[in-house]
Chains A and B, each alone.
Chain A
Amino acid sequence: MHYDTLIIGAGLSGLAAGIRCAYFDQRVCVLERHTTIGGLNSFYRLRGRNHDVGLHAVTNYASPGSKTGPLSKLLRQLRIRWDEFALCEQIGSSVVFPGVTLKFTNDFEYLREQVHSRFPLEKDRFERFHSHLLTFNELDLNQQAVSAREIVGSFLRDPLLIDMLFCPLMFYGSARPEDMDWNQFVVMYKSIFLEGFARPNRGVRPIMKALVRKYKDVGGELKLRSGVRRILVHQGRAAGVELEDGRQLTANRVLSSAGIVETLKLCANNREQGTIEANSLPAAGDVTFNEVIDILDISPQQLGHDQTIIFFSSSERFQYRKPQEPCDLQSGIICSPNNYRYTEPLEEGCIRLTALANHDFWLNLPEREYTAAKAEWADKIRETALELIPDYRAHILDTDTFTPHTIRRFTGHENGCVYGAPEKSLDGRTPIKELYICGTDQGFLGIVGAMLSGITMANNHCLNP
């Protein structure tokens, strides 16, 4: 079977790219290693409950009828109606550092007032910084990476304010320790502080299902349980793939959402020619997380907790990097999926706690120690969070925990890192002709970003080559 485009990975970016290709009459196939769709964002069922893998919030919120912004753009491109995603807005979130709290909602004016009142000396500098940021075109795919710390530091002087602005943006998208690429900072700043958080009542499921339904409606082919063993490369050009079962599929081009390092490794397995040497691979990412998902017999609001997401650091200097210990207890995220403005409340309470994790520890842990270590660190992460929210431990019905080990198993990401490699390939090109990447390592972030990545790469490389 010969295809116009083969897509590796049935996650948000791969399916979105597939919809574009199939809609415009290409013969396209999405290949997924696992038994179901989803990648970094997915869903699963455990002990009778539905869980989301990664979703805390859909960023880039836009209200129905909005004509501009990333969400509206992707709905148009995918020919999907706003109400298919059925997003409900957050109640309110905050960044909590020692002695200072910045609250924010989906109305930027609220955060602006908070910055002015908490950091009065920074007021004018913050306004100049904000105006500068708005003039920047983060969607230019031909730009070079520059340090966001340098640019933000050239406007703002108070290191506490700088770190408080960086904290949520890093937690929700930075593959780079301690710093971000400026364009990634701008993407995240706009998507979180200007556009804001929302969530469908049923989590990521309706989004994934709307995508796969659309993909099939427009004639796309989806092969589950079809892991790619290698990408076939002939004379420096991608020519198809070989699946784990030995079958070969040929194509005019291959679009991979597997990650840049992971994708190039699939090319390195070509005996006929060694275009990619193992030592020339880009560096894999280093930053990743543990997450504890507690299901409660009561809603967080009944316990007096109505914040949607809290990003916290118990030290003034926010450290975003691989910790020495198994998990970093100095900082974290507390997400309550119940705390959105739903028309119907969720059936059960839920608290999700996220902490930076050391991937070497979790990936090398002997299997017999793994379960106990997960429980031990879940307890410690929970205790840290309880300094900021009511003690809910008597109400826990069930707990699930994921670690870098889980992430590597289900996404194939090197080091089990969430946000992929630090060096992004914004234009999606690779050293191999007709091999492109989309998804995390292309560099658009979040759920909306992932879909836009697939759309943009399909438009630029598959439909109008």
Chain B
Amino acid sequence: MAPAEIRQVIIGILSKIAPDEDLSSLDDTKPFREQMELDSMDFLDIVMELRKAYRIQIPEEDYFHLGTMQSTVEYLTPLLKDA
């Protein structure tokens, strides 16, 4: 998948987690935590949604890569290159 597609995948996951949220104004460089008040339970859900959809395992020590949209897409690009 290309970075733009990965971004769409993440948007899809975020809209599942927070269906009442308007994601059109999401700033890719700002932490999700600040913009959407995501907590540790929500980050775990992003990881589990990725595992469910693409069978990729993200170890706990890598969770910090999922801070912003930009860092998430960068981190996932090599992992999802064949997806």
- With a CB–CB cut-off of 8 A, which chain A residues contact B20? 64-65, 75, 81-82
Question: Are the C-beta atoms of B19 and A81 separated by less than 8 Å?
Answer: yes
CB of A25 within 8 Å of the partner chain: yes
Please report which residues of chain B, range 57-83, place their CB below 8 angstroms from some CB of chain A when the two chains form the complex: none
- With a CB–CB cut-off of 8 A, which chain B residues contact A77? 41, 45
Question: Are the C-beta atoms of A73 and B52 separated by less than 8 Å?
Answer: no
In the complex, the chain B residue whose C-beta lies closest to that of A84 is B19
CA distance A79 to B48 in the complex (A): 14
Contact size range, A: 10 to 19
CA distance A80 to B20 in the complex (A): 9
Shortest CB-to-CB span from B21 to chain A, Å, is 8
Shortest CB-to-CB span from B63 to chain A, Å, is 12
Please report which residues of chain A, range 47-80, place their CB below 8 angstroms from some CB of chain B when the two chains form the complex: 64-65, 67-68, 72-73, 75-77, 79-80
Question: Are the C-beta atoms of A459 and B41 separated by less than 8 Å?
Answer: yes
CB of B28 within 8 Å of the partner chain: no
Question: Are the C-beta atoms of A79 and B19 separated by less than 8 Å?
Answer: yes
CA distance A204 to B7 in the complex (A): 39
CB of B5 within 8 Å of the partner chain: no
Interface string of B34-51 (1 = CB under 8 A from A): 001101011011001000
Question: Are the C-beta atoms of A463 and B17 separated by less than 8 Å?
Answer: no
Checking B16, B21, B36, B41 against A79 with a beta-carbon cut-off of 8 angstroms, the contacting residue is B16
CB of A302 within 8 Å of the partner chain: no
Shortest CB-to-CB span from B24 to chain A, Å, is 15
CA distance A67 to B20 in the complex (A): 9
In the complex, the chain A residue whose C-beta lies closest to that of B60 is A464
CA distance A79 to B44 in the complex (A): 14
Question: Are the C-beta atoms of A24 and B19 separated by less than 8 Å?
Answer: no
Question: Are the C-beta atoms of A459 and B42 separated by less than 8 Å?
Answer: no
CA distance A64 to B36 in the complex (A): 14
Question: Are the C-beta atoms of B45 and A73 separated by less than 8 Å?
Answer: no
Question: Are the C-beta atoms of A76 and B52 separated by less than 8 Å?
Answer: no
Please report which residues of chain A, range 252-294, place their CB below 8 angstroms from some CB of chain B when the two chains form the complex: none
In the complex, the chain B residue whose C-beta lies closest to that of A79 is B16
- With a CB–CB cut-off of 8 A, which chain A residues contact B52? 24-25
CB of B18 within 8 Å of the partner chain: yes
Checking A73, A79, A459 against B39 with a beta-carbon cut-off of 8 angstroms, the contacting residue is A73
- With a CB–CB cut-off of 8 A, which chain A residues contact B18? 67, 76
CA distance A188 to B52 in the complex (A): 36
CA distance A24 to B44 in the complex (A): 12
- With a CB–CB cut-off of 8 A, which chain A residues contact B41? 73, 76-77, 455, 459
11 contacts between A and B (CB under 8 A): A24-B52, A64-B20, A65-B20, A67-B36, A67-B37, A68-B37, A73-B39, A76-B41, A76-B45, A77-B41, A79-B19
Chain A positions within 8 Å of B, measured between CB atoms, are 24-25, 64-65, 67-68, 72-73, 75-77, 79-82, 455, 459, 463-464
Chain B positions within 8 Å of A, measured between CB atoms, are 16-21, 36-37, 39, 41-42, 44-45, 48, 52
Q: List 11 other contacts, CB 8 Å, given A76-B17, A77-B45.
A: A24-B52, A25-B52, A64-B20, A67-B21, A67-B37, A68-B37, A76-B18, A76-B41, A76-B42, A81-B19, A455-B41
